[in-house]
Amino acid sequence: GFAIQPELDAGEDCPSEDVVLRSQADIEAFAAQFPNCTNIPVGIFITEDESTRGDIVDLSALSFIESIDGHLAFFKVRDLTSLTGLENITSVTDFVGLNNMLSLEDLDGLSGLQSTGLLQVNKLGSLTALDGLVSLQTIENELVLINNPNLSNCSIDAVCAVLAMGKPARILNNLEGCSSTFEIEQICNPAEDVCPTEDVILRSQADIEAFAAAFPNCTNLPVGLFLTEDNAISGSIVDLTPLSFLESIDGHLAFFKLGALTSLNGLENITSVTDFVGLNRMPQLVDISGIANLESTGLLQLNKLEALTSTSNLNSQLVVDELVIINNTNLSNCASPFVCSHVTSGRPITVRNNGAFCVSAEAIGFLCSGLVGKQENSLEEVEAAPLGVYPNPVRSRLAVKNIKSSIKVVDVKIVDTFGNVVREVDASTIANGQLNLDVSGLRSGVYYLHISNGTLIESVSFMKL
């Protein structure tokens, strides 16, 4: 417990180190030793251990305190129902932390508090409102309101100011009315606008639902929409169907670090996004058909979508100014109608670090074309059976079949996905329309076999294991 400090020099009215008070007796002893220390120069931590559980019930002995240049922290004070006794405290420099106090019913005891660095309210099972903080105007650094199952009134001036200034705020697992940042913002700023006037950030499932409830008639969103989660609420966002009212976005549609979202279902009505659509760091996203009706956007980015295997669900008529497909380890089907159309358009494209058959723009281009650089005057000579390779994938020996007998082959090359020629083959070894190649020396990856008569006639891809 708190120990009386008889060694203090005369006139030394305040403690010199952080104070820990573990019992009602500690509180009384602290008040008795420092009755003139109105401005505490250190932190105060009030908690109970197993031997004093339920002992602290009255803080009135601390009524001499007017400010704390440090922290005022409570943790696991089981039976304390009020903070009466702290009314004279006007400022706490570092933070006010109220944690694991199941019996605390209100914050009226902090009615004189005007400023603090951080306010944390966590696991106060009986608290319903923050309105006891009637004088609080400034929270300098951060706001944390989490795990308070009956807390529904949070829209006091200081909280509204924190959100309006964009300061860090963690708000989750409270009652409706205080369940998300967005919800509190709507209460702080009641508006009759059909649509928001500033870019929207949605950080939780509760945020999404509150946004939809606030702007159900905003079919054409005039600002950007950003969905993300911080580490504390990773996995919260799992359902986008409340956003089904959206038809267009005059800004961006960005997703970042959504740990549990598996599909984009709910976005089917969106046909245009002016700036960009960014899908980033969504490890469980396996289905992007929710944006299948998107017709245009400035930039489309698919990045670190580890569960995504195909782009085939994208609208074949989709037009984008720039396409970025990177770091999608299982994305092997990129040669979808939309991507092929973009590749042939000549508009900017970046492709790298994806699965097989999607390792580069060149690889996608070869897969899209099938017959690359085919001459019109040779079409009559092309026989019905297509050029084929077997086995595919291959480890060592590759059989090439159906080489057109009417084409005077002068050049056979194996090219990697970056367009580099890795092997030139003697065309004279072709016999009866077939060619046998030893590819055991090639590195694992995707390659293309080019059969040419001076101008490339046919190309076929194969994978080397």
The per-residue pLDDT for 406 is 62
More confident residue, 54 or 10: 54
Residue that is last in its domain, among 131, 166, 186: 186
Q: Which of 244, 310, 306, 250 is nearest to 280 (CA)?
A: 306
Verify that 221 and 328 share a domain, yes or no.
yes
Verify that 278 and 336 share a domain, yes or no.
yes
Q: Is the dihedral of CA 229, 232, 233, 235 positive or negative?
A: positive
- Dist CA 103 CA 77 (whole Å): 8
- What is the pTM assigned to this prediction? 0.57
CATH number of the domain where residue 35 is located: 3.80.20.20
Verify that 46 and 177 share a domain, yes or no.
yes
Verify that 325 and 217 share a domain, yes or no.
yes
Verify that 40 and 68 share a domain, yes or no.
yes
| Collapsed DSSP state (helix, strand, coil) of residue 244 | coil
The per-residue pLDDT for 305 is 97
301, part of any domain:
yes
10, part of any domain:
no
Other beta carbons less than 10 A from residue 428's beta carbon:
9
Range of the domain at 72: 19-186
Task: Establish how many alpha carbons lie within 13 A of residue 67's alpha carbon, considering only the half-sphere containing its beta carbon.
Answer: 11
Verify that 242 and 348 share a domain, yes or no.
yes
The per-residue pLDDT for 374 is 34
Q: Is the dihedral of CA 290, 292, 296, 300 positive or negative?
A: positive
The DSSP code sequence of 95-144 is: EEEEES-TT----GGGTT--EEEEEEEE--TT--BSTT-TT--EEEEEEE
147, part of any domain:
yes
Over residues 176-218, the pLDDT tens digits come to 999 999 899 889 987 656 899 899 999 999 999 999 998 999 9
1, part of any domain:
no
Q: Residue 449: in which H helix or E strand, if any?
A: strand 445-452
Predicted confidence band of residue 384 (pLDDT cuts 50, 70, 90) = very low
Verify that 125 and 228 share a domain, yes or no.
no
216, part of any domain:
yes
Predicted confidence band of residue 235 (pLDDT cuts 50, 70, 90) = confident
Percent of the chain at pLDDT > 90 equals 66
Residue that is last in its domain, among 319, 350, 369: 369
| Collapsed DSSP state (helix, strand, coil) of residue 343 | helix
- Dist CA 351 CA 368 (whole Å): 15
Q: Check: CB of residue 171 under 8 Å from CB of residue 145.
A: yes
Spatial strand order of the sheet with 397-401 comes to 388-390, 397-401, 435-438
The per-residue pLDDT for 105 is 96
361, part of any domain:
yes
The per-residue pLDDT for 388 is 81
Q: Is the dihedral of CA 64, 67, 68, 74 positive or negative?
A: positive
Verify that 339 and 397 share a domain, yes or no.
no
Q: Find all residues with CB under 8 Å of 78, minimum gap 6, and list them.
A: 48, 53, 54, 101, 102, 103
Q: What is the mean pLDDT of the segment spanning 370-377?
A: 35
Verify that 431 and 346 share a domain, yes or no.
no
Q: Find all residues with CB under 8 Å of 236, minimum gap 6, and list them.
A: 172, 203, 204, 205, 206, 229, 260
> In whole numbers, what is the pLDDT of the chain averaged over residues?
88
- Dist CA 148 CA 196 (whole Å): 29
Whole-angstrom Cα Rg for the chain: 33
Please check the confidence at residue 462 and state whether its pLDDT lies above 60: yes
Verify that 365 and 255 share a domain, yes or no.
yes
Q: What is the mean pLDDT of the segment spanning 222-234?
A: 85
Verify that 207 and 300 share a domain, yes or no.
yes
215, part of any domain:
yes
Q: What is the mean pLDDT of the segment spanning 150-166?
A: 94
- Dist CA 58 CA 47 (whole Å): 13
Q: Check: CB of residue 412 under 8 Å from CB of residue 433.
A: no
The per-residue pLDDT for 11 is 43
Greatest distance between any 2 Cα atoms in the chain: 111
The per-residue pLDDT for 455 is 58
Verify that 276 and 406 share a domain, yes or no.
no
- Dist CA 275 CA 376 (whole Å): 40
CATH number of the domain where residue 280 is located: 3.80.20
Q: Domains in the chain: how many in total? A: 3
Q: What torsion, rounded to 10 degrees, do the Cα atoms 64, 67, 71, 72 define?
A: 40
Residue that is last in its domain, among 351, 369, 387: 369
CATH number of the domain where residue 455 is located: 2.60.40.3080
